[in-house]
Amino acid sequence: MMNLAAARIVLFAAGFALWALTSALPLTETVVEGWDRPVYWQIGLPLVFAAQIAVAAFSKERITLAPLWVLLGHTVAMLFVARADSSFGLLPLSVLFVGVPLYLMLLAAAFIGRTIRRLTGLAS
C-alpha cells in the first residue's frame, strides 16, 4: 500500500508535469498553453489517468479528493510555466470548461482504480 503523502505527491507531480512538459517542450519552441498542443490530449492526459488509476488502486486516498491533487499540480504549473505576456483573464472559463470535466474524468479513473483494488484483493 502507498501512504497518503506518497499518493498525493505522485498525483500533484502528474498534474504539474502534464502542464509543464506539454507547455515547455520542445525547448526550441516558445512556451504555449499546454492544451493547445495535441500531445497534451493524446499522451499527457492518458498518462495522468493511468497515474490516477494506479494511485487509487494502491493507496487509501479518498477518491473524491484524489483528482484535486492532480488539478492543484496542474494549476501551480499554469502559474509558473507561462509566457511573460500571459494574462489570466480567461482562467474562470478554463476552470469551467476544462477543470470541471477533467475533475469528473479523474474521478471516474479513481473509481476504476478503487474497483480494481477491491476485485483483485489489493485492499488487504
For residue 124, the model assigns a pLDDT of: 57
pLDDT score for 57: 94
- Whether pTM > 0.85 for this model: the answer is yes
Confidence of residue 34 (pLDDT cuts 50, 70, 90): confident
How far is 7 from 87, CA to CA, in rounded Å? 32
CA 106 to each of CA 54, 100, 102: distance values in angstroms, whole numbers, following the listed order: 12, 10, 6
Confidence band for 43, pLDDT divided at 50, 70 and 90? very high
Average pLDDT across the chain, whole number: 88
Q: How confident is the model at residue 121, as a pLDDT?
A: 84
Domain count, the chain: 1
DSSP-derived secondary structure letter, 59: B
Residue 89 CB neighbours (<10 A) = 7
Which pLDDT value is given to residue 105? 96
Tens of pLDDT, residues 50-102: 999 999 999 999 999 999 999 999 989 988 887 666 676 777 777 788 889 99
Q: Which three cell numbers stand for residue 55?
A: 494511485
Which has more pLDDT, 96 or 3? 3
Mean pLDDT of the 11-36 span: 84
Residues 47 and 40: their CA atoms lie apart, in Å, by 10
Domain assignment of residue 105, given as a range: 4-120
User: Residue 24 has what pLDDT?
Assistant: 80
Cβ–Cβ under 8 Å, residues 42 and 100 = no
- Amino acid identity for residue 27 in this structure: L
